[in-house]
Structure 1
Amino acid sequence: MALDAGPERRKDSNFRSDTRQLQAEETPLPGERISLEEFQKIDLRVGVIREAERIPGANKLLHLSVDCGGATIELVSGIAPTYDPAELPGKRIVVITNLEPARIRGVESQGMLLAAQDGEGRLSLVTLDREVASGARVS
């Protein structure tokens, strides 16, 4: 049996042959800290997107129905410039479920999904790398 002598070279233009990590632009960390007790008040749950649709008249907003285990919640999120609604059902995301509801463009948003923004303004949803039940607590 021959051992692999090194990483396979790909001619794919999206492949990076070096091992440098992507880094966000230098942004100072917030000076204000919260206590562990305050952080534990945030209810983070695994949610599975069941439905996603554009909100009429809103270029950036999507209306999502998210299964959080024992309940389905409605979210309004500004991810429309990055995500097509058709690609979202089935995605397992992280959701804050205990925010005060907010009415946005006539839709009651009952939580918030977590996402990160790259240097070009594109959003990337915080997802899970393994199969975890909807409604599972994230800590």
Structure 2
Amino acid sequence: MGNNNSQESLQLFEDQPVRTAWDEEHEEWYFSIVDVVGILTESKDPTAYWRKLKKRLKEEGNETVTNCHGLKMKAADGKRRLTDVGNTEQLLRIIQSIPSKKAEPFKMWLAEVGRERIEETLDPELIAVGGIQP
């Protein structure tokens, strides 16, 4: 995933921002893991929480953490900083490792974000010809 072929945006989950990037080449969303961890854990320091969780998952041999990418995203201070990001599949695996009452609603939100992007990219003529229902 490179910066050249991605479009950054801010998505909201229950009025809380999640930094995202759409990768044109792979046609998938990437989400800031620290933002997701912050929402799910309500931690005052989601970066430290993610660092500890990432270390624990690596020690357990969890490949998801190894496969996460780094992407420069705009931080709270306005500067672009390297941020761990994961696609939907990677996030779902990470979410399983975080005890949170928000996990299920967040999974539903992830599915909705993906569905909306698919609908945006579908050609209206293909829908009419193929009988695809958005």
- With the length of structure 1 as denominator, give the TM-score of the two structures: 0.25
Q: Which has the higher strand share?
A: 1
Greater relative CO (CA pairs within 8 A, separation 6+): 1
Q: Which has the higher helix share?
A: 2
In our comparison, the structure showing a higher alpha carbon Rg is 1
- With the length of structure 2 as denominator, give the TM-score of the two structures: 0.26
